[in-house]
Chain A
């Protein structure tokens, strides 16, 4: 399946994280919040100004800016993620 980046994912579409290519410190912070390789992520809603976006990951909601999502590589999964 084709890989793309997290900022391209439509709202409510579930994807699986393949790798995090952010600079080290940011990558650490993102990983700590549960966005590790193989975890499932789903964009839930956007801020009133369109950025950042809130993502559902491991039953928690984490907000990230679009520019940082550009460095998170994901691939689609077919079945819908359980909330």
Chain B
């Protein structure tokens, strides 16, 4: 009896993950990530990887909104920052514990997203991009103006840590695993949404909003939905970040933070959900370890990545992760062609052509 169910689980697992090359790859990567702390890395390295996990969540949320639904967001830091400030201020003024401040903080973020979303719905394309850029700037202005509540430039200090009972190194390990699990759960949820029928509607909005309306879709409703879901995960990342660092300041609303998911997602592959995750890892590992080891001063790091981003977007608009999965698909398709013959070749060729045009 037990063996029957085990077999069922295994078959399902094999069907859904092992047989799908990209997912198998993802599983292997995840296992590697789980094993990472065994190599006894430095405390700082663990910190950076935990940060990478949070930024991956942040960027995946951006990708859902921009890459999947086509709503440009150049001010995503707004949600991150509100997540951070909400949890911080809830602690500062009401002394609530983390288990309360983080969820409430996320809720507030989603609320703000819906509020900000309403005017954003009315604008498209570059106007939407600039409106989205405006909000965190307005937010930063407000943070400084109401400095008696928000702490101005200094921000809100002394936030409770995530694992206060542990010693410093152990805490870093715990934070690493915590953020990793959060990343896994967030990635799975976002992935499932992106591939559900709702996700299909999102893509229809990305592709042709007008045609989507012609299919009877209330596009505004779905856009708000995408906004809210995206804000939820961005706020989550922001709130956890605040408690990992112990402070929440105006940098959580900063423009460079708004551009970070753009960089990470382009590097990894826009429109996929794993793209931003891959991008986050590539970025953080390269930035903090590779480039620093090579003794390149910090200011050159950003230049390096931006140049990469510009090259990527000009040459491979679909990003590296897509490139890899495309190659994997090509391999299986080429095998199929050999087996099924020339009439598949036409279909394959047309696909190649349109991908190059698109």
Partners in one complex: no
